[in-house]
């Protein structure tokens, strides 16, 4: 699946008993969003990427773009807005880990930045 294929999908409802992606799926999906790193915090796997901007105003404008997309998808990241940069972190709270939804939303975040 390519990044453009990821962006053509929408998040599906993710229940607490939905399976986390397995190692093979992770290996395949992360190739489609190669600039994202996988972080593990409190035993929860997350996708993270820092987006750089020239000042605060353009940074918070991006925060709002990603926020609008998140509302549309019904799936919400952590958005850390600072002067000149925004750090976006996607994971699926209900399963305490990564679901395909997170890769879809990471790819859509890249598209918003481009």
Residues that bind a second copy (CB under 8 A): 56-57, 60, 63-64, 67, 70-71, 76, 78-83, 93
Question: Least distance in Å: CB of 37 to a second copy?
Answer: 18
Neighbours of 80 (CB within 10 A): 14
Q: 41, 42, 55: which is closest to 85 by C-alpha?
A: 55
**Structural contact between residues 93 and 42, judged by C-beta atoms closer than 8 angstroms:** no
Which DSSP state fits 2? -
The tokens for 111 are 């598209």
Nearer to a second copy, 9 or 63 (CB): 63
Question: Least distance in Å: CB of 28 to a second copy?
Answer: 28
Nearer to a second copy, 15 or 57 (CB): 57
Question: Least distance in Å: CB of 43 to a second copy?
Answer: 18
């Amino acid at each position: 699946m390519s990044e453009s294929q990821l962006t053509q999908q929408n998040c599906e409802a993710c229940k607490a008993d939905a399976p986390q992606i397995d190692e093979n799926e992770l290996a395949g999906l992360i190739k489609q969003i190669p600039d994202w790193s996988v972080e593990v915090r409190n035993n929860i796997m997350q996708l993270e990427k820092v987006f750089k901007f020239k000042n605060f105003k353009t940074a918070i404008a991006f925060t709002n773009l990603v926020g609008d997309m998140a509302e549309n998808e019904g799936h919400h990241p952590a958005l850390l807005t600072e002067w000149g940069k925004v750090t976006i972190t996607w994971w699926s709270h209900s399963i305490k880990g990564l679901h395909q939804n997170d890769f879809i939303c990471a790819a859509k975040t890249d598209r918003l930045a481009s």
